[in-house]
Structure 1
Amino acid sequence: MLTNDNQRGRIVILFGAGATLSWNSPKTYELTTLVRKSGFKTTDNQTTITEYLFQALLKSGYSENDINFETIINLIEELTVYYSWFDSEKKLPSLIGCLLTPRFEKEIFNFSIKGGEIKHGYQLQIPAGKDYEFSDFAYHNETPQQFFLLHLLSEILTDISARISKYAYHTSGHSVVDVSSPISNQFCKWIASLSKRSVLRIYTLNYDRIFKILLERNGVSLFEGFDCGENIPVGESLRANVPKILKDNDCNCHYNLHGSAYWEVLNLDKNHLPNPEIVLTSGPNLPINNNPASFQVEKGKTLLVTNIITGYQKVQKTNITPYRQMYSAFDDDCCFADEIFIIGYSFGDEHINQSLKTAIRYNPKLKITIVDPSFIKNKMDFQFAIKFFPYRQAGNLNPKKVAENLYSYFDGAFVVHTKTFEEFLDTASNGHIANRVDGREP
């Protein structure tokens, strides 16, 4: 918070999926279609397992609007928990596995054990009877079903990572990021104007480094949790600078709260023990090229360690480094920010929402600006009034229309621009004050 004229302010910017659409990032529908076609086939060797799960959800009463790629991935992750040991040493089944009997095993588990014997270091054949090129060795007491599902998740996340690479691939030798496009220039101009008066704490829920790359190229240095600039030397794997993430709250930063395609999961430590670590590399990584690394973040809850977090187990997965420390920084920054910009985020992640709610409750001077073209159309204003405004002192919850595509709440403490991010940046680059929070027309 500002205390005197010599102290810089603190601005938090939270980017959701809608913030990068102008850079050709995928929409939710595209990723859902991708995931439905991704991964292994069922035992009919025609239908993908993901499509089978999608159809099973429809038959159970879900509508297509209720199901997206995260729903399907979460279902596979829940099955992984079901088929994992609660205690591998005692061969205790999962708690839920003690009570329920599945109805789909014959359709889904299209694999066989290479050599026919389940022993230390066994491999899977996928589909059954055929060697699988990316099959790992089961050295950590994985059940065959669990091991199969971990390989399936790796296949799906690889396809997602490949799609991220199409719009965000960047190395010192080759890049698809258009650093000189009008939208890129407008973005850098806007951020540069903010950085003159405030510390910038940038957080993204996307899996790319685009904004980091653009800003470094334009003279705005950002710490992304790893000690590097725009490029990482080829062949290097950078360990996260955890002490700096936790202690340095006054540097400009760019943190990937849900991971990055540029992160890589090392399944073993230097002593070849199962202590997974996440590192930053020079280019996007495909999880299929790495050995699956699983861990129990809670007793009996076996999860796959991934370089990108999706599905509905985000809270559990953010307990590992560097997710945990980056989220802690976000929680801290929200509580002490002067302004928070929320751009292209649909408020679907409750662990993110909790940090925002806490900030609204304990930071009475906080200004919040939301950029979302569908905020009013999708009745997010109603949801926001129910879920967030109760954390503010009582007042008029109805929006005041200040201008076309501009709404104000609580005398300008909350401002909503019903524009795309590109339209918002165009307003800012033309010299208007795009983050006006006093309810007046910009």
Structure 2
Amino acid sequence: MARAHAGDSSVETTVADIITRIREDGFAAASAYAHDFDGVELDRLRVSAQTIRDAADSLPAETLDALSTAIDRTRTFAEAQRPETVTTTFPGGATVSLLWEPVSRAGVYVPGGKAVYPSSVIMNVVPAQAAGVTSIALASPPQREYGGMPHPHILAAAHLLGIDEVYAIGGAQAIAALAFGIDDPDPERALPAVDVITGPGNIYVATAKRLVRGHVAVDAEAGATEVMILADSLADPATIAVDMICQAEHDENAAAVLVTPSASLLGAVSAELRRRAPTAAHRERVAAALGGPQSALVLVDDIGHGIRFCSAYAPEHLEVHCENADAVAAQVTGAGAVFVGATTPVSLGDYTAGSNHVLPTGGTASFSSGLSVYSFLRNVQNVAYPLDALRPLRDTVRALSTAENLPAHGAAFDMRFAASDRASS
């Protein structure tokens, strides 16, 4: 199966130059990029608290209620993820513990291109808050139609979450600013660096995250969105077609793939797509996505074959429209999120399922995970050995330090016994 085109080496060169300019020229570089890429003249990076409040006040009540519902459900699931300290005891009163601590500061990026994603504000901020992160910076592109500020829906979601540190900066330059910081005597033009960066974005954002990885932690290099639907002969072709169109409206590079052992279902879905896609609100985008090499209708031998196919592809989203959907879903070994049963659409996960919609794409679900509380935590191993617990290990440590030709290691261990050795001699 083909994947969406992920760009070329020229993108990496361009992004590397952007990162260098941000590091060297700070706000001046950010302002220049805002002029060139966003068509706005920036006199500050930080969005005022009043602007954030005004954005929330301007939203219809039903939109605010919907965002609040999404926040509540996402927070309920995120808070349930918080891990407990694990402690193991050894003879002599020794303990080894695994402690979980939040990072000090997180940076959240929310794009503002073809669509506006206040839901992404929720999906990134809520797990950070549930993890215990107390300093969260949100960056989103300045919008010309909103006076050089991020989209009001983004600001409103930030307000509902209690986030007042929001910056009008987008693209690779935002990732660079979050990673390395922008120092400026004017606090409205400064941006303190963060410890971890999360959030979706285009190929320039994804490339920037790859290039700053190691200096800061990043969640993933998110690519074009994907849905794969595993369905048997009893599945409803209209529902499947609508779900494929739902994903295709995100982006021209979005992938929508049906996997089925039923030739009749495949034909019926194909017919439904031909009928429905031309009437979609974003019909040009949908047509490009469904017509691209990354989208397909795949005929497999049986459901077992389909399970192996889906696991190997490792889609961002997998819907299971099968009899005994629970049992089928349990056999899939690669997917960012699995939506079990025809009544569970991906769009539910995008907004109010309680799950997180920041998920691995491009096959990376075979080895990486979606955003969660763990994305904002680090573990610390706490080791405490009293002398009575050390004594039985004395010969073991000496033997290992000798085997590795690191005699100072053995000497450091023996030093703990110096006083008791003198007392016994």
**TM-score bracket for the superposition, by shorter chain length:** under 0.3
